[in-house]
Amino acid sequence: MGHFATVLLMAVILLSAGLAVRSAEVLGTGLVLAAAGEDPRCPPTPAEPLGPFYEPNAPVRERVGQGYVLRGTVKSSADCQAIAGAQLEFWLAGPNGQYDEAHRATVFSDKSGRYRFESNFPPKYSFRPPHIHLRISAPGYETLVTQHYPAAGQTEGNFDLVLAPAGKGREVK
């Protein structure tokens, strides 16, 4: 059986087990699965490791520098609806490549689920490309930890975040 046929067969088996197949990569190298009842138009944002530099209780502020603006909308994977009042924690390295309190912030999404955060353009350091860490939480949803990777030369980016309802586990690959 060809690789694509194998992936398709896996999708059929998963569908019959009550799982919705969210997407299969073009080459069939992996599947992203959604729990039954989730909207396939809004797959949850992939999680990334928390990393060693997270510290809770960052100050509430929308700006920790200037030169890069990140904005987006926080949505639910269940129905693609906006999540108002989601807490977004940001942390990134300062221009000197070091993590510090001056480059941590907490922002809350507005009634339409939108957020805005301004910072310096995150620097490269060690083996890491420029990135901004995010931890997003909202009542009734799984907490998400992820990262945004701006491209060189960008001054703004859009990063919509999709949270899974609490208790809706998922598998990748």
How does pLDDT run across 11-22, given as a tens digit for each residue? 333 334 344 433
Q: What is the pLDDT of residue 34?
A: 52
Q: Does the residue 49 lie in any domain?
A: no
Strand ranges for 77-122 from DSSP E: 87-93, 99-108, 114-119
pLDDT digits (tens, 9 = 90+) for 33-53: 555 567 888 999 999 999 999
Q: CA-to-CA distance for 141 and 33, rounded, in angstroms? A: 17
Same structural domain for residues 72 and 135? yes
If asked whether residues 12 and 78 sit together in one domain, one would say no
Same domain, 96 and 30: no
80, 20: one domain: no
In a domain, 54, yes or no: no
Looking at the fold, whether 30 and 74 belong to one and the same domain comes out as: no
Q: How many CB atoms lie within 10 A of CB 32?
A: 16
Q: Tell me, yes or no, whether 129 lies in a domain.
A: yes
Residue identified by tokens 């300062």 is 94
Q: Which residue has the higher pLDDT, 80 or 13?
A: 80
CB-based contact 57:47 (threshold 8 Å) = no
The single-letter DSSP state of residue 97 is: S
Structure tokens at 65: 């520098």
Return the CATH number at 139.
2.60.130.10
- The phi, psi pair for 18, rounded to 5°, reads 95, 10
Yes or no: say if 95 and 120 are a contact pair by the CB < 8 Å rule: yes
Residue ranges making up the domain that contains 14: 3-34
Residues 27 and 78 in one domain: no
Per-residue pLDDT at 39: 80
